[in-house]
C-alpha cells in the first residue's frame, strides 16, 4: 500500500513546492494554495477558492510573500460561490481559470492536456467529466523536477472514499466512471496515475484531508464496483435537491460575480 | 520565510513517515496519525483522538495496514472527550499516553525529554504548560534519519495565529509565554525549534491546517507581543465558560472512559 510519507517527497529538483490545504467549514470545501517557493517571484495559485474565505486565503498569500497569479476552479460548483471573482477585484492581475467545457466565463479557458505554469512548476489539465459536464482535475507534472509523489486535485470527480453526485449540470454516472477508470484516453483517467499520487478533493465531509490513487483503487466503495453497479448506485442515491444550486451555479458561471450583494459577509 | 514545501521534505534516511491529518468538525479538533511505514510492523500512533471519530480513525489505520500502538494526548481537553479509552477497548494492546504533570491516568505517563518510539521514528516530549498545567508538545526528532523539516504537535499551547486560553485547569499566561518563548529550558521552548518546523495544532477554527515556527514568530498576533502585553491580552479575552468542561475534563482525566453513556454516538 502506497501512502503519504515524508521521505518519498524528495525530488531531484531544487524547485520547492509550497503547499497549503485550507478548509471552509460550511460547505466542507478544500481550497489549495500552491506556489513555486524557489522562484524569485514566488508565483502562486489557488484551486477552488470560496467567496467567504477569500480574506483568509489572501492573508496567507500575503504572509508567505507569494504573488498570486491564478484563481482556478475544477468545475462550476453548486454548493458554494467561488472566490475567483472576488479575488480578482482585490488582487489586480490575478487571472481566473476554468474549463472550456464548463461553458462558464473566465480569463483563461483550459482543455485536457493544457499546462498551467507557475514559476518552474505546472499543473496539467485532465478532463474528468461526470459530476458536471465540464469537470477537470489538475495534476502536477511527472518530470523529475516536479513534486514527487504527484498530486491530483480532483474536484468532485473523485472524493475520498466517494465521488460527486451525477444528477445535475450535465452529470453522467457513465462519464464519471470512465473519467476515473478509463485507460483509453490520455489526460482523462485518474486511476492510471501512479498509485502513490496524492488525491486532494474539493470536499470531505468526514474530516479526511488526503488519500492516494492506490487507496481509492482498493477502498472507494463506489468506484471499486463494476460500471453497471456504479451506475445503479449513483441512480439510487436519493439525494435532496442541492440547496444552493439555484444561487451558486449562475454566480459561478461568471466567476462568482453575478450578484455581489448575495455573498455572505 | 520558511514555509511548507515538498522538496525539503527529503531525508537522508530510508525511513518513511506516513502522516495523516484528520479533522473533527464539532470541536474543530485535529487528530494526527503517524506511522513508520518502512518498519515491517508499520507501528502507528494517534495524537489527540476524539471519541466521536474513533471509528473513522481506526478505519484508516486498518486500510493502511498499520499497527496502532499508542493513543496520545497533548493535555486534558476541556472541549471534547478523548478517544483514547474507546480506542483501547476496540484495539487490544494500544497504550494511552499523557503527561505526568496532567495528573490524569494513562498507561504511560511522560515527562519533558522522554521519547515515544514507533518503529525507528520517535516523538520527543516538551513541557509546554500554560493552557493547562500539564500541557506537552510532541516534536519529531532532529537526527538526520528523522523526518525533515521537523514537526511539532503543539496541542493548545500554540495555535495557528493564536493560542489556547489560560483561565482554567491550572492555566497561566506567564507559563504559556515561557513555554513558547523561553530559551532557558531544554525540551520546553517552541520558538527555538528550527524556523521550518511545521506547527500542527490541536485545533483550528478558520480552516488553516498547518503553520511553521517561522510564520508564527512573525505573525502570531498574541505571541509576537512582549510578555506583559501578552498577559494583558490573555486576561481580557472575556471568553464564555467552556460549555463542555464539566463533562469533558473528568472523563479525560481517565482517558475518556469515565462515563461511556455520555459519549456521542
A59 Cβ neighbours under 8 A, 6+ residues apart: none
pLDDT of residue A74: 98
Rounded to the nearest 10 degrees, the angle between the axes of helix B173-181 and helix B227-235 is 140
pLDDT of residue A264: 44
Number of folded domains that form chain B:
1
- Across the interface, of A5, A14, A56, the residue whose CB is closest to B17 is A5
pLDDT of residue B189: 73
Residue B16, strand partner residues:
none
Q: What is chain B's mean pLDDT, rounded?
A: 90
Nearest chain A residue (CA) to B55 = A206
**By the CB < 8 Å criterion, does B237 face chain A?**
no
Three-class secondary structure of residue A92 per DSSP: coil
Whether A30 and A17 have beta carbons less than 8 Å apart is answered as no
Q: Which helix (H) or strand (E) holds B90?
A: helix B84-90
Residue-wise pLDDT for A92-126, tens only, equals 999 999 999 999 999 999 999 999 999 999 999 99
Tell me whether the omega of the peptide bond preceding residue B149 falls within 30 degrees of 0, making it cis. yes
Strands A115-118 and B29-36: what pairing? unpaired
pLDDT of residue A182: 78
- Rounded Cα–Cα distance for residues B150 and B246 (Å): 35
Query: For A188-198, what is the mean pLDDT?
Result: 86
pLDDT of residue B4: 44
Instruction: Examine residue A264 and state whether it is found in any structural domain, yes or no.
Output: no
Residue written as grid cell 477508470: A181
Instruction: Examine residue B209 and state whether it is found in any structural domain, yes or no.
Output: yes
Instruction: Examine residue B204 and state whether it is found in any structural domain, yes or no.
Output: yes
Q: B153 CA to chain A: closest CA distance, Å?
A: 16
Residue numbers of the domain that contains A123: 17-239
pLDDT of residue B100: 98
- Rounded Cα–Cα distance for residues B31 and A173 (Å): 34
Instruction: Examine residue B1 and state whether it is found in any structural domain, yes or no.
Output: no
Instruction: Examine residue B69 and state whether it is found in any structural domain, yes or no.
Output: yes
Instruction: Examine residue A263 and state whether it is found in any structural domain, yes or no.
Output: no
Angle at CA B248, nearest 5°, toward B253 and B52? 110
CATH of the domain at B22: 3.60.15.10
Say which residue, A147 or A185, is predicted with more confidence. Answer: A147
- Across the interface, of B1, B7, B23, the residue whose CB is closest to A23 is B23
- Reported ipTM: the value is 0.90
Instruction: Examine residue B61 and state whether it is found in any structural domain, yes or no.
Output: yes
Instruction: Examine residue B245 and state whether it is found in any structural domain, yes or no.
Output: no
Q: A218 CA to chain B: closest CA distance, Å?
A: 9
Q: What is chain A's mean pLDDT, rounded?
A: 90
As to burial, measured by CB atoms within 10 angstroms (0-12 exposed, 13-18 middle, 19+ buried), residue A120 is middle
A7/B21 CB distance under 8 A? no
pLDDT for B187 beyond 60: no
* pLDDT tier at A263, thresholds 50, 70, 90: very low
**Alpha-carbon separation of residue A114 from A110, A124, B258 (angstroms):** 6, 6, 57
Query: For B113-117, what is the mean pLDDT?
Result: 97
Amino acid at each position: 500500500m502506497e501512502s503519504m510519507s515524508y521521505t518519498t517527497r524528495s525530488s531531484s529538483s531544487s524547485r520547492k513546492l509550497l503547499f497549503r490545504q485550507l478548509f471552509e467549514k460550511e460547505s466542507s470545501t478544500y481550497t489549495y494554495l500552491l506556489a513555486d517557493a524557489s522562484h524569485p517571484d514566488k508565483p502562486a495559485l489557488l484551486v477552488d477558492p470560496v467567496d467567504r474565505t477569500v480574506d483568509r486565503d489572501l492573508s496567507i498569500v500575503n504572509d508567505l510573500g507569494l504573488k498570486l497569479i491564478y484563481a482556478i476552479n475544477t468545475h462550476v460548483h453548486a454548493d458554494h460561490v467561488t472566490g475567483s471573482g472576488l479575488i480578482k477585484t482585490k488582487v489586480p492581475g490575478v487571472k481566473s481559470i476554468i474549463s472550456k467545457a464548463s461553458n462558464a466565463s473566465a480569463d483563461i479557458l483550459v482543455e485536457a492536456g493544457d499546462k498551467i505554469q507557475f514559476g518552474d512548476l505546472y499543473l496539467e489539465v485532465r478532463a474528468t467529466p461526470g459530476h458536471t459536464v465540464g469537470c477537470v482535475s489538475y495534476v502536477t507534472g511527472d518530470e523529475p523536477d516536479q513534486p514527487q509523489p504527484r498530486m491530483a486535485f480532483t474536484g468532485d470527480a473523485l472524493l475520498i472514499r466517494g465521488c460527486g453526485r451525477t444528477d445535475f449540470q450535465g452529470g453522467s454516472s457513465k462519464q464519471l466512471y470512465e473519467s476515473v477508470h478509463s485507460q483509453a484516453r490520455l489526460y482523462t483517467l485518474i486511476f492510471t496515475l501512479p498509485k502513490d499520487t496524492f488525491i486532494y478533493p474539493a470536499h470531505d465531509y468526514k474530516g479526511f484531508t488526503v488519500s492516494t490513487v492506490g487507496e481509492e483503487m482498493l477502498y472507494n466503495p463506489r468506484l471499486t464496483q463494476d460500471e453497471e453497479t456504479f451506475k445503479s448506485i449513483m441512480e439510487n442515491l436519493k439525494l435532496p435537491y442541492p440547496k444552493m444550486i439555484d444561487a451558486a451555479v449562475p454566480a459561478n458561471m461568471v466567476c462568482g460575480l453575478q450578484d455581489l450583494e448575495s455573498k455572505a459577509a
